[in-house]
Structure 1
Amino acid sequence: MAISYSGLAAFHAVAQAESFTGAARARNVSQPTLSAQVRGLEDAYGVRLFDRIGRQVKLTPLGQSLFVITARLFTAEDEAQSLLAGTRTLMRGHLRVAADSARHVMAALARIRERYPGLTFSLTIGNSSQVVEQVMNYAADVAITARQSSDPRLHTVKLRADRLVAFAPAAHPISRHDAVPIEAFAGQDLVLRERGSITREVFEQRLSEAGIKPANLLEVQTREAVREAVAAGFGIGVIFDNEFQPDDGLHRLVVTGADFSVGEYAACREERRRIPLVRTFIEVVQGLFGEEHP
């Protein structure tokens, strides 16, 4: 049985948009037409690709496996179309971005939009592990992450090096210093991101290597929550140096006695690196980081 191309394309659009309505709008077809194409694919093979809950759709395990395949299929189609058309104008398109911080990503998207106003974007913020996973699962086209990967399926470009610093309330005894040795964290309460965060991973690893045991650990989900918890007196926080915002109530601390340097990377699937929109994003973000650190 020959598989229906229109059915695959409809399935892929819905899986990508996570919505029949959004997929129909993106493909410029009616929602009933799109639904019929997906249902036809399911009926032809006697399978269920989506769980439909009201207006929401969720991929079944089989649907997730098929989405990985269709992502490769339609990525190859996009590359072939770009190659044959010789397009460099980027008049239209949608770029899905994942990042572990919005700061530099927003600047890159703003610059791309200025050059190519016909493009649209979506941005997902998560920890470093989640960001890499989204690219690997085709849920995002490109990513900015502090997590380096040796996976050959992932194309990464180092943008810059940063380092972790600690910060504490100005009234905290440790804030009498501008720099403290790693041993100063023994018995201290800490505020750190959730597991999967490169900030937490590196800091905990350095504490372990030095044989340092903190007291209590408050785990939170975002950088903003780390800052709020530290300001509220729950403990000492850790953050990338470039992300620390001066505040009269908070004191920045350089930590000595261990290597707290961390890289920042742009990443995409290896087979997608030559797609014009993906390539343009990586080039733009490289240029922005280069302007900051000539």
Structure 2
Amino acid sequence: MAISYSGLSAFHAVAEAQSFTGAARTRNVSQPTLSAQVRGLEDAYGVRLFDRAGRQVKLTPLGQSLFVITARLFAAEDEAQSLLAGSRTLQRGHLRIAADSATHVMSTLARMRERYPGLTFSLTIGNSSEVVDQIMDFAADVAITARANSDPRIHSIKLRSDDLIAFVSDQHELARHEHLPIEAFAGQDIVLRERGSITREVFENRLSVAGIKPANLLEVQSREAVREAVAFGFGIGVVFASEFRPEAGLKRIVITGAEFDVGEYVVCRAERQRLPLVRSFFETVQDL
């Protein structure tokens, strides 16, 4: 049985919008038409792809698996259209960016907006592991991450190097220091990002290599939460130097006695690096 393209396309639109109404508006068709296309796909195979409760729709387990496939399918279709006709002049188009810090990407987006006013952008912030996953899942076109990657499916260039630094509340016992050896972290409370964060991974590795054991570790889910926890005296925070913003009540400290240099990389799926939008992003990053 040949699968219905219109049915797949309708399913993907609804799954992406999480709404029949929103998908119909995006595709510029009536909701009954869209509903009929999805129902036709379900009936043809005797399956249920959505659980419907009023205006709310939720993917069934089978629907979730199908959505992974259609995401790849329609990403490839968009790629082909872009390559053949769409954005070669970059007069229009939409670029999806994932980054482990807004600090590392905003200057590039600002430059691209100046050069190509017709482009639109969406930006997702996550830890280094999450942004690579978004590239692999076709949820983002390009990403900036501190995680070096040797996967042959990923095209990567090194953007810059950055150093990890510590910072404390100005009431902390270590606030009088400009520099601290890594040994000074022994027995101290530390505030770090969640697992998957390259900041945490590198810092914990350096402590382990040096045989340093902190007292307590407070795990939080964002850089903003790290800053707030440190400001309220929960311990020593660790961030990239480029991410630290001087403000009242916080003191920056350089860590010595170990290598805290970490690379930052621009990545995309290898087969997508020649797309005009993706290529332009890489070129703009390198220009800056």
TM-score, normalising length: structure 2 = 0.90
1:117 and 2:89 aligned: no
Instruction: Answer with 106-115 or 177-186: which moved more.
Output: 106-115
1:158 and 2:158 aligned: yes
Give the residue type in structure 2 aligned to 1:97. Answer: I
Shift of 1:53: 5.1
Shift of 1:39: 2.3
Shift in alpha-carbon separation, 1:21–1:139, aligned structure 2, 3 A: farther
Structure 1 counterpart of 2:45 = 45
Shift of 1:164: 0.4
Instruction: Answer with 110-119 or 210-219: which moved more.
Output: 110-119
Asked whether the 8 Å contact 1:202–1:260 carries over to 2, the reply is: yes
Instruction: Answer with 272-281 or 237-246: which moved more.
Output: 272-281
CA distance in 2, matches of 1:275, 1:113: 18
Instruction: Describe how 1:185-264 pairs up with structure 2 within 5 A.
Output: 185-264=185-264
Shift of 1:198: 0.8
Asked whether the 8 Å contact 2:75–2:138 carries over to 1, the reply is: no
Shift of 1:55: 4.1
Give the residue type in structure 1 aligned to 2:156. Answer: T
Asked whether the 8 Å contact 2:273–2:279 carries over to 1, the reply is: yes
CA distance in 1, matches of 2:248, 2:166: 15
Shift of 1:24: 2.9
Instruction: Describe how 1:132-171 pairs up with structure 2 within 5 A.
Output: 132-171=132-171
CA distance in 1, matches of 2:249, 2:270: 45
Shift in alpha-carbon separation, 1:255–1:51, aligned structure 2, 3 A: farther
**Percent identical residues:** 79
Asked whether the 8 Å contact 1:68–1:138 carries over to 2, the reply is: no
1:101 and 2:95 aligned: no
Shift of 1:147: 1.4
Runs of 5+ consecutive residues of structure 2 not aligned to the other structure: none
Q: Deviations over 1:191-212 (max 9, x none)?
A: 1111111111110111111111
SS of 2:268's equivalent? strand
Asked whether the 8 Å contact 1:183–1:212 carries over to 2, the reply is: yes
Asked whether the 8 Å contact 2:103–2:242 carries over to 1, the reply is: no
Asked whether the 8 Å contact 1:78–1:275 carries over to 2, the reply is: no
Shift in alpha-carbon separation, 1:52–1:159, aligned structure 2, 3 A: farther
Question: RMSD value over aligned CA atoms?
Answer: 2.1
1:20 and 2:41 aligned: no
Q: Deviations over 1:169-191 (max 9, x none)?
A: 22322222211111100000111
- State the number of aligned residues: 288
Structure 1 counterpart of 2:68 = 68
Asked whether the 8 Å contact 1:142–1:267 carries over to 2, the reply is: yes
Structure 1 counterpart of 2:276 = 276
CA distance in 1, matches of 2:281, 2:89: 13
SS of 2:120's equivalent? strand
Give the residue type in structure 1 aligned to 2:245. Answer: Q
Structure 1 counterpart of 2:183 = 183
Asked whether the 8 Å contact 1:79–1:274 carries over to 2, the reply is: no
Shift of 1:41: 1.7
Shift in alpha-carbon separation, 1:50–1:270, aligned structure 2, 3 A: farther
CA distance in 1, matches of 2:53, 2:201: 37
SS of 1:174's equivalent? coil
Shift in alpha-carbon separation, 1:53–1:112, aligned structure 2, 3 A: farther
Q: Deviations over 1:104-129 (max 9, x none)?
A: 32332233233333332222211111
Give the residue type in structure 1 aligned to 2:50. Answer: F
Shift in alpha-carbon separation, 1:137–1:109, aligned structure 2, 3 A: same
CA distance in 2, matches of 1:135, 1:281: 15
CA distance in 1, matches of 2:109, 2:21: 25
Instruction: Answer with 7-16 or 227-236: which moved more.
Output: 7-16
Q: Deviations over 1:90-110 (max 9, x none)?
A: 233322222111123233223
